[in-house]
Structure 1
Amino acid sequence: MRRGQLPLSLVEVALGTVLILGVALGFALGTPAPDRQGPQLDAYASDTAAVLANDPPRHDGATRLQEIVASPAAFDRERDALADRVTRILPENILFRVETPHGAVGTPTPNGVSTGTTTVPTGHGSVRIIVWYA
C-alpha cells in the first residue's frame, strides 16, 4: 500500500499564497480612517470663541462673551444679536449652539453627529460653543 504525500514545494506555495492574501486583505480593509471632522470642528468652535471673546460689547462688559453671561436680562437682550454674530462667523455649512448659564442660542445638538466644542470661562460663568456640519 502506497501513501500519498504532497510535495513540499506545493505546501510552501499554499502557505505563501495564504500569507500574501492575508497581507493584501490587511491593506485593503485596513484600519478605520482617522476622524478628520473632529479636529476641524474643534477649530471652528475655538475660532468662534476667540472672536466672541475679542468682540467689543454692545452695551456693558469688557467683551461680548462677558456681556451675555452678566445676567439673565443681559442674555435675553443679547440673544438674537449673539445668534446673528455666530452665524456670520461660521461657514454656511456649520450649525451651532452656544450654551451659557442663562440660556442657549442656536440649534439643539443632534445625537450621533461629530461635533466640535470649546468652553470659555468668564467672570459670571462658562460659555460652551458646540458646532457640527449641517
Structure 2
Amino acid sequence: MRRGQATITAIEAGIGVLLLLALTLLFALGSPGGSDSATQAQLDAYAEDTATILAQEQPRHADQTRLAEVTASGAAFEREAPALERRIEAILPENVFFRLDTPYGRIGHPLPANVQTGTTTVTTVNGPVTLEVWYA
C-alpha cells in the first residue's frame, strides 16, 4: 500500500499563500493607533500650555498681557493678530493647527468637521479668549 505524500513544492506554496494572506490582513486591518483619551489629553495640554505662555507674555504695545492686548478693541485685534498668529505657530508643533477666538475676531485655521480638538479658555480683563488645537 502506497501512501500519498505531498511534495515539498506544494508545502512551500501553501506556506507562501498563508504568509501572503497574513500580510494582506495586517495591512487591511492596520495597526492600533493611539487611544482617544491619550490624544485628547495631549491636545488639551497643547492648548493649555500655549494659552498659559500667551497669558503671561508682555504686551507688544499696551495692556497687561499679550492676550489682554489683542482683546482690548477691534483696532488692537487688527494690529496684533498677525504677530500673535506667528507666535502661536512658533509655540505649537508643526503638526498641530489652531484657532483662537476673541471678542473681536478669529485667527488661525478653519476648524474641520469631525476632528478631535483640545480646547482652553482664558479670561482676560477685556474678555474671554478660546484656543482650539488639533492634529493636521
Q: TM-score by structure 1 length?
A: 0.74
Deviation at 1:113, TM superposition (A): 0.7
Paired residue type of 2:130 = R
Partner of 1:54: 56
Deviation at 1:35, TM superposition (A): 2.4
1:108 equivalent to 2:110? Answer yes
Q: Identity over aligned residues, as a percent?
A: 54
Cα distance in 1 for residues equivalent to 2:86 and 2:49:
16
Cα distance in 2 for residues equivalent to 1:42 and 1:90:
12
Matches within 5 A, 1:118-133: 118-133=120-135
Deviation at 1:124, TM superposition (A): 1.1
Which of structures 1 and 2 has the bigger CA Rg?
1
Partner of 1:66: 68
Matches within 5 A, 1:29-108: 33-108=35-110
Q: TM-score by structure 2 length?
A: 0.73
Paired residue type of 1:95 = F
Unpaired segments of 5 or more residues in structure 2?
Answer: 1-34
In angstroms, what is the RMSD of aligned CA positions?
Answer: 0.8
Cα distance in 1 for residues equivalent to 2:79 and 2:87:
14
Deviation at 1:34, TM superposition (A): 4.6
Cα distance in 2 for residues equivalent to 1:120 and 1:53:
8
Unpaired segments of 5 or more residues in structure 1?
Answer: 1-32
Three-state SS of the structure 1 residue aligned to 2:130 is strand
Three-state SS of the structure 2 residue aligned to 1:35 is helix
Cα distance in 2 for residues equivalent to 1:53 and 1:34:
28
- Residues paired across the two proteins, number: 102
Paired residue type of 2:132 = I
Show structure 1 runs of 4+ deviating over 4 A.
none
Q: Deviations over 1:41-99 (max 9, x none)?
A: 00000000000001110000111000000000000000100100000000000000000
